[in-house]
C-alpha cells in the first residue's frame, strides 16, 4: 500500500508540475509579444506617415487608414461577405468531398495490404501533379460552372487526407490489434475502437493540411475563372487598380486561413485528449 | 470431463515454423504439456526460445504449423476465452484507464454501464480509483502494467496468458506486483501460464515450472514446486527452493553458453 501511495503522490506531483509550466504562459503577457506588436505597428505608422506626406505613391501603397475605411465600406455594403461566403462555401464543399473520400480510401488502404500495393503507384504518380494544372481538363468534363471549381479543390484535398490516413493506420502499434483480436473483437469493433482512434491524430494533421490546400486552391481557381469569391475580388481589384480593395481582400484571405487553422487546432485538442501535451 | 476439470488445457506436439529469407526457422518443436484448472504454471527459458510464440498460439493470435491445442472445456480455439498480458502493457492510449480495463467486457458485448461498474470493482481492488478517468500516458509504467493485468482479469477468461508482464519494471515494483498478482489470483482462481526469463520469478509464482530451451524451442524439463505459497523466507523450504533454482539454472546455463557462441 505504501507503494501505491507513493506512485499516486509521484504522479500527482507530475501533474502539478505540468500545470505550473502551463499557467504563466496563459495568464501573463509574455515580453516577446511586445516585440511582435512593435514589429507589426511600427511599419504601419511609418507607412501611414509616408503615404500621407506623398513620399510613396498611394496608388501602390494606400495609407493603412484608407485601407481600413475601405474595409468598413466593403463590410457595410455586404460586398465582402458575399465574396467571403462564396469562397468559404467552395472550401468547405471541396474539403468535405475530397476529405471524406481520402479518409475512406485511406482507411481501406491502411488496413489492406493488397489494396495498398495496387493503388500506391497510382497515388505516387498523381500526387505530385500541381492540382491547379488540371483545372482546364476538369472544366472540359464538368463545364465552367461551380462544379469544376469544387472538383479541383476536392481533388487537391483528397491527397493529403489519403496519405495521412494511410500513415495513421499503419503506425498503429500491432500490439493493439493483437489485444483486440485476443478478446475476439468484431471487425466493426476493430474499426471503431482501434483503427479510427489510433489513426485520428494523423488524420487530423491531414485534415489541417487539406484545409490549407483547399483554401489555396479556392483562391487560385477564383483568380483564374470566377466572378465571385475572394480570389475573384483580388483579381478584380488588380484589374481596376483599386489597390486598397486588393489589400483588404488579401488581409481577409490571410485572416481566413488563420481562423480555419485555429479552429481545426481547437477541434484536434478536443478530439485527441490523450495527446494533449504533444503540440499538434 | 478429463480429470474432473473442465477448464484445463493440453498442448499436443505443437510445432511452429516461420518462413524467412534463410529458409524455414523452427520456433517451436514438439511441445507437449497439459495444465490443470486453477494451476499457475511458469514457463522459463532464455530469450528467443519461443516462449512468446507458444503463448500467441494458445491465445489464437497465430496458428500452429502442426499439433493441436485442446481445451478441456471442449470449446474450439475461437470460442475459448483467453486473455493475454503483454510485456509492454499494450493499453490503448486513446482510452481512459476505466475503458481499458473494461475493453475485454466491451468486446464480449456487455452493456456500457455494467462493464464500467465491473471494471471499477477491479480498479478499486488495486487502489487506482483516482486514476480511473486518466489516460495511460498520465500513469507510470508500473501503473500501466497493473492496468494491463486488470484488463485481463476483468475479462474473466478461463485462461490467463502472461508474457513477461514484469519484464520492463524495476526490481522493487516487480516485487510488489508479483505479490499483487498472487493475491488477485487467489481471489479469482484462474489457469495462468506465466512466461518469464527470471528463474526466481518462475519459482516464486508457479505451482509448476516448465523449463524451455531454444533453437528450436522445446520443453527440457517439468518441475513441480513442492511448497505451497506463500513461501516462508526463513524455513528449510528456502533450501529446497534454492536447490530447484540451481537445478533450473544448470539447464539454462548450457543454453545461454550455446547461444553466446552461436551468432544469431
> How many structural domains compose chain A?
1
Looking at the domain assignment, is residue B43 inside a domain?
Answer: yes
Considering only CA atoms, which of B120, B73, B69 is closest in space to residue B99? B120
Which single residue is written with the C-alpha cell 503577457? A29
Q: Which pLDDT belongs to residue A263?
A: 93
Helix (H) or strand (E) holding B88: none
- State yes or no: pLDDT of B129 exceeds 50: yes
Q: Which residues 261-280 of A are in CB contact (within 8 Å) with B? A: 272-275, 277
The alpha carbon of residue B238 is apart from the nearest alpha carbon of chain A, in Å, by 26
- The three-state secondary structure class of A60 is coil
User: Strand B23-35 and strand B9-20: pairing?
Assistant: antiparallel
| DSSP state at residue A268 | H
Q: Which pLDDT belongs to residue B228?
A: 65
Q: Which pLDDT belongs to residue B128?
A: 86
Q: How many other CB atoms are there within 10 angstroms of residue A39's CB atom?
A: 9
The set of cell numbers assigned to A96 is: 468535405
Cα separation of A52 and B242, whole Å?
A: 95
Q: Which pLDDT belongs to residue A276?
A: 60
Q: Is the Cβ pair B83, A184 closer than 8 Å?
A: no
Cα separation of A144 and A52, whole Å?
A: 44
Q: Is the Cβ pair A198, B127 closer than 8 Å?
A: no
Give the residue from chain B lying closest to A196, CA to CA. Answer: B94
Cα separation of A67 and A245, whole Å?
A: 7
Query: Which residue from A178, A185, A194 is facing B61, i.e. has the nearest CB?
Result: A178
Number of cross-chain residue pairs from A and B with Cβ atoms under 8 Å apart: 80
Q: Which residues 190-229 of A are in CB contact (within 8 Å) with B? A: 193-194, 197-198, 200
Those residues whose C-beta lies under 8 Å from the C-beta of residue B18, and which sit 6 or more positions away, are B24, B25, B27
Cα separation of B64 and B162, whole Å?
A: 19
Query: Which residue from A7, A179, A181 is facing B143, i.e. has the nearest CB?
Result: A7
Q: Which pLDDT belongs to residue A198?
A: 93
Query: Which residue from A181, A198, A277 is facing B94, i.e. has the nearest CB?
Result: A198
pLDDT tier at B29 (50, 70, 90 boundaries)?
A: confident
The alpha carbon of residue B104 is apart from the nearest alpha carbon of chain A, in Å, by 6
Q: What is the pLDDT of residues B30-56, one digit of tens each?
A: 888 888 888 899 999 887 778 888 888
- State yes or no: pLDDT of B14 exceeds 90: no
- Which region among A1-10, B50-59, B113-122, B134-143 has the lowest average model confidence (pLDDT)? A1-10
A133 touches chain B (CB under 8 A): no
For residue A1, the chain B residues in CB contact (below 8 A) are 127
Looking at the domain assignment, is residue B103 inside a domain?
Answer: no
Q: Are B52 and B163 in contact (CB under 8 A)?
A: yes
Q: Are B33 and B219 in contact (CB under 8 A)?
A: yes
Q: How many other CB atoms are there within 10 angstroms of residue A145's CB atom?
A: 9
Those residues whose C-beta lies under 8 Å from the C-beta of residue A146, and which sit 6 or more positions away, are A90
Give the residue from chain A lying closest to B99, CA to CA. Answer: A193
Query: Which residue from B56, B90, B140 is facing A176, i.e. has the nearest CB?
Result: B90
Looking at the domain assignment, is residue A228 inside a domain?
Answer: yes
Query: Which residue from B82, B95, B137 is facing A182, i.e. has the nearest CB?
Result: B82
Q: Which pLDDT belongs to residue B232?
A: 57
Q: Which pLDDT belongs to residue A150?
A: 94
Q: Which pLDDT belongs to residue A23?
A: 47
> How many structural domains compose chain B?
1
Query: Which residue from A8, A175, A277 is facing B86, i.e. has the nearest CB?
Result: A175
Looking at the domain assignment, is residue B249 inside a domain?
Answer: yes
For residue A184, the chain B residues in CB contact (below 8 A) are 78, 81, 107-108
Cα separation of A177 and A195, whole Å?
A: 9
Cα separation of B98 and B123, whole Å?
A: 8
Helix (H) or strand (E) holding A93: helix A79-111
Say if residue A64 is exposed, middle or buried (CB neighbours under 10 Å; 0-12, 13-18, 19+).
middle
- Please report, for the domain that includes residue B240, its CATH number: 3.40.50.300
The alpha carbon of residue B23 is apart from the nearest alpha carbon of chain A, in Å, by 23
Looking at the domain assignment, is residue B256 inside a domain?
Answer: yes
Cα separation of B86 and B63, whole Å?
A: 19
Looking at the domain assignment, is residue A92 inside a domain?
Answer: yes
Cα separation of A197 and A199, whole Å?
A: 6
Looking at the domain assignment, is residue B143 inside a domain?
Answer: no
For residue B103, the chain A residues in CB contact (below 8 A) are 179, 183, 193
- Please report, for the domain that includes residue A215, its CATH number: 1.10.3720.10
DSSP letters, A113-182, are HHHHHHHHHHHHHHTTS-GGGGHHHHHHHH-SSHHHHHHHHHHHHHHHHHHHHHHHHHTS-HHHHHHHHH
- The three-state secondary structure class of A275 is helix
Q: Name residue B222's beta-bridge partners.
A: B210
The alpha carbon of residue B135 is apart from the nearest alpha carbon of chain A, in Å, by 6
The set of cell numbers assigned to A17 is: 508540475
Looking at the domain assignment, is residue A15 inside a domain?
Answer: no
Q: What is the pLDDT of residues B153-185, one digit of tens each?
A: 888 888 899 998 888 788 888 888 888 888 888
Domain span at residue B256 reads: 39-60+157-212+219-261
Q: How many other CB atoms are there within 10 angstroms of residue B260's CB atom?
A: 9
Q: Are A264 and A211 in contact (CB under 8 A)?
A: yes
Looking at the domain assignment, is residue B250 inside a domain?
Answer: yes
Give the residue from chain B lying closest to A189, CA to CA. Answer: B107
Q: How far is CA B195 from CA A123, A192, A204, B172, B199, in A?
A: 45, 31, 39, 19, 10
What does each of the 280 residues of chain A score in pLDDT, given as a tens digit?
Answer: 444 444 444 444 444 444 444 444 555 677 888 888 999 899 989 989 998 888 888 788 888 888 899 999 989 998 899 999 999 999 999 999 999 999 999 999 999 999 999 999 999 999 888 888 888 898 999 988 889 999 999 999 999 999 999 999 999 999 999 999 989 888 999 999 999 999 999 999 999 999 999 999 999 999 988 889 999 999 999 999 888 899 999 999 999 999 999 999 999 988 998 876 544 4
Cα separation of A77 and A233, whole Å?
A: 14
Helix (H) or strand (E) holding B192: strand B191-196
Domain span at residue A84 reads: 70-275
Angle between helices B141-154 and B171-187 (to 10 degrees): 20
- B237-246 own/partner pairs: CB under 8 Å, 24+ apart: B241/B203, B244/B203, B244/B209, B245/B199, B245/B200, B245/B203
DSSP letters, A1-56, are -HHHHHHHHHHHHHHHHHHHHHHHHHHSPPHHHHHHHHHHHHHHHHHHHHHHTTSS
Cα separation of A192 and A190, whole Å?
A: 6
Looking at the domain assignment, is residue A1 inside a domain?
Answer: no
Q: Are B157 and B190 in contact (CB under 8 A)?
A: yes
B189 versus A146: which is more confidently predicted?
A146
Cα separation of A67 and A269, whole Å?
A: 36
Those residues whose C-beta lies under 8 Å from the C-beta of residue A25, and which sit 6 or more positions away, are none
- State yes or no: pLDDT of B216 exceeds 50: yes
Looking at the domain assignment, is residue A77 inside a domain?
Answer: yes
Q: Are A43 and A27 in contact (CB under 8 A)?
A: no
Q: Which pLDDT belongs to residue A27?
A: 53
Q: Is the Cβ pair A185, B176 closer than 8 Å?
A: no
Amino acid at each position: 500500500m505504501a507503494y501505491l501511495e507513493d506512485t499516486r503522490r509521484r504522479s500527482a506531483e507530475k501533474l502539478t508540475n505540468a500545470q505550473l509550466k502551463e499557467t504563466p504562459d496563459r495568464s501573463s503577457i509574455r515580453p516577446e509579444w511586445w516585440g511582435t506588436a512593435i514589429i507589426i505597428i511600427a511599419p504601419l505608422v511609418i507607412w501611414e506617415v509616408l503615404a500621407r506626406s506623398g513620399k510613396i505613391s498611394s496608388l501602390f501603397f494606400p495609407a493603412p487608414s484608407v485601407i481600413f475605411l475601405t474595409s468598413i465600406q466593403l463590410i457595410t455594403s455586404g460586398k465582402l461577405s458575399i465574396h467571403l461566403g462564396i469562397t468559404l462555401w467552395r472550401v468547405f464543399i471541396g474539403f468535405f468531398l475530397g476529405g471524406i473520400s481520402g479518409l475512406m480510401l485511406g482507411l481501406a488502404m491502411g488496413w489492406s495490404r493488397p489494396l495498398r500495393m495496387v493503388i500506391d503507384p497510382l497515388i505516387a504518380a498523381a500526387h505530385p501533379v500541381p492540382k491547379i494544372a488540371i483545372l482546364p481538363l476538369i472544366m472540359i468534363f464538368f463545364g465552367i460552372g461551380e462544379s469544376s471549381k469544387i472538383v479541383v479543390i476536392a481533388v487537391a484535398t483528397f491527397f493529403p487526407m489519403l496519405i495521412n490516413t494511410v500513415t495513421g493506420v499503419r503506425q498503429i502499434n500491432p500490439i493493439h490489434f493483437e489485444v483486440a483480436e485476443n478478446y475476439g473483437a468484431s471487425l466493426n469493433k476493430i474499426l471503431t475502437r482501434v483503427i479510427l482512434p489510433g489513426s485520428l491524430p494523423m488524420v487530423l494533421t491531414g485534415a489541417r493540411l487539406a484545409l490549407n490546400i483547399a483554401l489555396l486552391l479556392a483562391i487560385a481557381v477564383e483568380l483564374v475563372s470566377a466572378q465571385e469569391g475572394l480570389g475573384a475580388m483580388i483579381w478584380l481589384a488588380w484589374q481596376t487598380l483599386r489597390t486598397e480593395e486588393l489589400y483588404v481582400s488579401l488581409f481577409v484571405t490571410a485572416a481566413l486561413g488563420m481562423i480555419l487553422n485555429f479552429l481545426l487546432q481547437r477541434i484536434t485538442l478536443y478530439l485527441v485528449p490523450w495527446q494533449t501535451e504533444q503540440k499538434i | 470431463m478429463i480429470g474432473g476439470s473442465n477448464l484445463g488445457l493440453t498442448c499436443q506436439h505443437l510445432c511452429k515454423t516461420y518462413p524467412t529469407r534463410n529458409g524455414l526457422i523452427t520456433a517451436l518443436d514438439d511441445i507437449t504439456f497439459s495444465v490443470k484448472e486453477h494451476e499457475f504454471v511458469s514457463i522459463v527459458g532464455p530469450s528467443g526460445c519461443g516462449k512468446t510464440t507458444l503463448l500467441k498460439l494458445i491465445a489464437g493470435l497465430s496458428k500452429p504449423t502442426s499439433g493441436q491445442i485442446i481445451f478441456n472445456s471442449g470449446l474450439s480455439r475461437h470460442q475459448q476465452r483467453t486473455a493475454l498480458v503483454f510485456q509492454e502493457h499494450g493499453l490503448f492510449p486513446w482510452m481512459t484507464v476505466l475503458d481499458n480495463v473494461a475493453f475485454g467486457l466491451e468486446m464480449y458485448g456487455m452493456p456500457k454501464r455494467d462493464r464500467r461498474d465491473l471494471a471499477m470493482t477491479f480498479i478499486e481492488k488495486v487502489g487506482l480509483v483516482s486514476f480511473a478517468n486518466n489516460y495511460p500516458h498520465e500513469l507510470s509504467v508500473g501503473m500501466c502494467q497493473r492496468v494491463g493485468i486488470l484488463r485481463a482479469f476483468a475479462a474473466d477468461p478461463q485462461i490467463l496468458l502472461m508474457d513477461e508482464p514484469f519484464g520492463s519494471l524495476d526490481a522493487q515494483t516487480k516485487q510488489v506486483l508479483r505479490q499483487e498478482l498472487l493475491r488477485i489470483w487467489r481471489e479469482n482462481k484462474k489457469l495462468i501460464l506465466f512466461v518469464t526469463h527470471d528463474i526466481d520469478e518462475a519459482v516464486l509464482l508457479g505451482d509448476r515450472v516448465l523449463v524451455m530451451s531454444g533453437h528450436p524451442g522445446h520443453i527440457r524439463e517439468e518441475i513441480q514446486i513442492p511448497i505451497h505459497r506463500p513461501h516462508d523466507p526463513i524455513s528449510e523450504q528456502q533450501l529446497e527452493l534454492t536447490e530447484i533454482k540451481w537445478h533450473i539454472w544448470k539447464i539454462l546455463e548450457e543454453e545461454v553458453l550455446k547461444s553466446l557462441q552461436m551468432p544469431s
